[in-house]
Structure 1
Amino acid sequence: MAETFRLKIIAPTGIFFDDDIERIVIRGSEGELAVLAEHTPLTTTVAIGTFNIIFADKKKKCGTLLGGVATINPRETIILTDAAEWPEEIDLKRAEEAKERALKRIQDEKYDTARAQVALKRAIARINTKKEL
């Protein structure tokens, strides 16, 4: 049996996830990052995107992280995030509409392009998470 570590995902609304896992794959500022037990200590930003958890029994669970920071230690990883969602909490139609709205706003000079790009990233992350279900 593989070694496990504690994962805590904390959002402004409270504890989103708190359990022992074998591995998590998150999107960091430099790309995807896989964290396993006994990982070298590290603090990194968490980009908007999907995450995948693998439990000791090899069951998998995916979700969406909407930015944040991760503190990784050999026996525990804590992710503080702006928001986290499970696939069943995501309304696919609403996410697709948000994506289309963001794409239009990126092209329109009267809107804040940076804000529209973040909205686009969030919508794409939600769509990708929902499709992984």
Structure 2
Amino acid sequence: MAETFRLKIIAPTGIFFDDDIERIVIRGTEGEFAVLAEHTPLTTSVAIGTFNIIFGDKKSKSGTLLGGVATINPRETIILTDAAEWPEEIDLKRAQEAKERALQRLKDDKYDAARAQAALERAIARINSKEGL
């Protein structure tokens, strides 16, 4: 059995996840990466996207992180995020509608393109999480 470490995911609404795990794969601003026990200390940005937690019994659980920062240490990783969601908490129809709205706003000069792009990324992350991608 592989070594485990503590993972805490904290959102503005409170502690989203707090347990011992074997590995987490998250999307950073420089690409996807995995964290295992005894990882070299690191602080990095977390991008909007899905994550996958692997427990010691080889079970896994995926969800969505909507940006943030991760502080990684050998025995503990803490992710502070703007929001975190499990797939069962996501309303797929609402996410698809948000994606369409964002795409339309990106075509229209009267909207802030950066905000529309961020909304599009959030909607796509939610859709991917819900659909298990």
Q: Same fold (TM over 0.5)?
A: yes
Deviations 1:113-132 (A, max 9, x none): 00000000000000000011
- Over the matched positions of the two proteins, sequence identity in percent amounts to 87
Alpha carbon RMSD of aligned pairs, Å? 0.8
Aligned to 2:43: 43
Aligned to 1:72: 72
Question: What's the offset of the Cα at 1:94?
Answer: 0.4
Deviations 1:51-105 (A, max 9, x none): 0000000001000000000000000000000000000000001000000000000
> Which runs of 4 or more aligned residues in structure 1 lie more than 3 Å from their structure 2 counterparts after TM superposition?
none
The code of the aligned residue for 1:26 comes to I
| Partner Cα separation in structure 1 for residue 131 and residue 42 of structure 2 | 30
Q: 1:3-22 to 2 correspondence within 5 Å? A: 3-22=3-22
Aligned length: 133
Q: Which runs of 5+ in 2 are unaligned?
A: none
Q: Does 1:27 align with 2:18?
A: no
Aligned to 2:115: 115
Aligned to 1:93: 93
| Partner Cα separation in structure 2 for residue 44 and residue 29 of structure 1 | 8
TM-score, normalized by length of structure 2?
Answer: 0.99
Question: What's the offset of the Cα at 1:41?
Answer: 0.3
| Partner Cα separation in structure 1 for residue 88 and residue 101 of structure 2 | 23
TM-score, normalized by length of structure 1?
Answer: 0.99
Q: Which runs of 5+ in 1 are unaligned?
A: none
